[in-house]
Structure 1
Amino acid sequence: MQLNYKEKRKLILEMREEKEELDMQSAISMFIKSRKLKNLTENTTASYTQTLNKFTAFLEENEIIKVNKVIVEDVQEFIQTRIEEGNSAPTVNKYIRNLRAFFSFLWSSGYLIENPMEAIDKLVEEKRILRTLSREQVLALLDVPDRATPVGYRNYVFMLLILDTGLRLEEALSFNIDDIHWKEQVVQVFGKGRKERLVPFSATLAVHLREYLELRGETDTSIFFVTIDGLPLKRRTVQEEISDYGQLAKIKRVRVSCHSLRFTFARNYIINGGDIVSLMSILGHKSLHMAQLYSEMFQADISKQHNRFSPVHSFFN
């Protein structure tokens, strides 16, 4: 039996009332489940959870339990508390991005009539300075690991990998042995948002990857880089060891990390004749903002390349 319009309308209102009773914890649970269905990385999901737990604690302090009771002023006050507690603009903007995703999900799913994030703008951030290592610093850094030991050679190859490909730390830690396509000289990785891409590597790096693989031996995991116990290499371990190498190499004015190695790859790619478009593809960037950032960072290097390859200059020389 078909319902008439009055009955349909009554059911819609009843459903809306039920939705309006949704509390923050239930809403967060639904949201996190929806993010996992999108196959996002564990780090991204953890970032959402951290933000939402902090926001929920703030709401509870102000006796706000239901999501439909959250107003734009609540979000503004939460942001202000984060600033007063010393959070930097990039950190606060991370909270804003995560809250925007959360409330957009609730609004598009019909749990909210109004989205409290619509009037919230990100904070203005200071322009980032992406510091890179000089050729001399890179050579000094690579000279530190004891390549006669399994750990030393593994770390040496790990640094070579990032310097040769520009992989993110998580990408370098998570690819499998079968993700290396030796004939094509590319490695298959999953970047931010679980987006797959193929990243080329040099013949020089290929030699070291094969040598490490032979040294690595058989383990219970297919992850390429492992500990001496055959377990997947951890983020913290790599970060601490590379930082220690930087200190032993007496590198000044640059914080030696996987990030700085990635930026060093990018700059040298441009210096050696690469272009911004292909660089962005290799690094896994889609944002025009990042293209602009790299262009500004490497402007002097790009200008030198233009002087070398200018069509007009070639016409008359």
Structure 2
Amino acid sequence: MKLSELDFYLQDFLLYCQSKNLSPKTLSSYEQSLKLFIAYLKNEHGIEEVDAVRTGHIRQYIAYLQERGKYTVVNREASRLINRPENRRDYNKKISNVTINNYIRNIKVFFNWLHEEGEIHKNPVDKIKQIKTERKQKAGISQEEFNLLLSQFDYTTFHGYRNKVITMLLQDTGMRIGECLALTVDDIDFKHRMILVKKTKGRKERYVYFSQVMARELKHYIRFKDRYTDTELLFPTTRNTPLTVHSFEKQLKQAGERIGLSIHPHQIRNNFARQYLLNGGDLYTLSRILV
């Protein structure tokens, strides 16, 4: 089937992004949000050419996003039969302003690229602003809550003890969960109490540091792990495969629910930052740790 002009330029834009070595997560975000926007332009306005898009079309799309519910619109109707979005718990719930701002940002990046490439002469996103959002104070996790959370993992099982150590390491170092689950045993330098983080968001290696208490726990865990697995991965499954972010998030959430605590790995990272500053750390050093 012949591509429309908008579809052609979207594919060209994604190839450009790949050449810039952007992360798969960023590429997926661009592709998903821009395909939905292009579907809206075609269905609601009959637009298939890039230079036919006006500022008003984008403003109307923002209003459209604010009015419709989650997952009520799909890029291809065939995908609705496969994914069954109506079965999701959050189906038809209001889309958050944060999500809408992500869509706006991606649309702006796309049209700014088209303008820089000389494919459009007037840029329709020049006067498009993000919508205001209320910044909610992120609740911290008290030491009592954190200790209670750790107690929910069954230390006598491999996966229970593994999950406890992961949770401790996130709090101790401020690593992202994806970075943590990609570690190997060789990445740990016990002499200097530091870990080489290779799989980073910015694809630039960095070191994080851990406490003496964490060092003792890690040494004990590695001996424990080697009785159950045969892999250099620090946090594998019992099948010697990498533990996925989704799987750990689910198990952490279940542990939190048992004590009435809503918990996500990123909250532990935020808690590390809060504790670091409360204990006298400076913002510059913190920014280097969390980069």
TM-score, structure 2 length as denominator? 0.82
SS at match of 2:167: helix
Alpha-carbon offset, residue 220 of structure 1: 8.5
Q: Distance in 2 between matches of 1:221 and 1:207?
A: 21
Q: Distance in 1 between matches of 2:27 and 2:11?
A: 11
Q: Could you tell me which amino acid in structure 1 is paired with residue 34 of structure 2?
A: L
Q: Give the fraction of aligned pairs with identical amino acids, expressed as a percent.
A: 34
- Asked which structure has the greater CA Rg, the reply is 1
Q: Which residue of 2 aligns with 1:288?
A: none
| Structure 1: tracts of 5 or more residues without a match | 1-20, 285-317
Match of 1:263 among 266, 270, 276: 270
SS at match of 2:208: strand
Match of 1:138 among 146, 155, 170: 146
Q: Distance in 2 between matches of 1:244 and 1:226?
A: 19
Q: Please tell me whether the aligned partners of residues 173 and 233 of structure 1 are also in contact (alpha carbons under 8 angstroms).
A: yes
Q: Distance in 1 between matches of 2:42 and 2:128?
A: 21
Alpha-carbon offset, residue 257 of structure 1: 1.4
Pair 1:194-2:190 in alignment: no
Q: Which residue of 1 aligns with 2:16?
A: 34
Q: Which residue of 2 aligns with 1:6?
A: none
Q: Deviations 1:188-226 (Å, cap 9, x if unpaired)?
A: 334434343322222322333333334434978754322
* Aligned length, in residue pairs: 261
Q: Which residue of 1 aligns with 2:257?
A: 247
Aligned CA distance change for structure 1 residues 102 and 164 (closer, same or farther; 3 Å) = same
Provide the aligned C-alpha RMSD in A: 2.2
Aligned CA distance change for structure 1 residues 219 and 77 (closer, same or farther; 3 Å) = farther
Q: Distance in 1 between matches of 2:153 and 2:4?
A: 55
Q: Which residue of 1 aligns with 2:34?
A: 52
Q: Could you tell me which amino acid in structure 1 is paired with residue 176 of structure 2?
A: R
Pair 1:237-2:247 in alignment: yes
| Structure 2: tracts of 5 or more residues without a match | 69-93
Report 1:142-291 matches (<5 A). Answer: 142-189=150-197, 190-217=199-226, 223-251=233-261, 255-284=262-291
- Farther-moved stretch of structure 1 (31-40 vs 232-241): 31-40
SS at match of 1:228: coil
Pair 1:78-2:41 in alignment: no
Q: Distance in 1 between matches of 2:103 and 2:161?
A: 39
Higher helix share: 1
Aligned CA distance change for structure 1 residues 207 and 41 (closer, same or farther; 3 Å) = farther
Aligned CA distance change for structure 1 residues 196 and 109 (closer, same or farther; 3 Å) = farther
Q: Could you tell me which amino acid in structure 2 is paired with residue 206 of structure 1?
A: A
Q: Which residue of 1 aligns with 2:7?
A: 25
Q: Please tell me whether the aligned partners of residues 174 and 269 of structure 2 are also in contact (alpha carbons under 8 angstroms).
A: yes
Q: Which residue of 1 aligns with 2:96?
A: 88
Q: Please tell me whether the aligned partners of residues 221 and 232 of structure 1 are also in contact (alpha carbons under 8 angstroms).
A: no
Alpha-carbon offset, residue 153 of structure 1: 0.9
Aligned CA distance change for structure 1 residues 115 and 265 (closer, same or farther; 3 Å) = same
SS at match of 1:199: strand
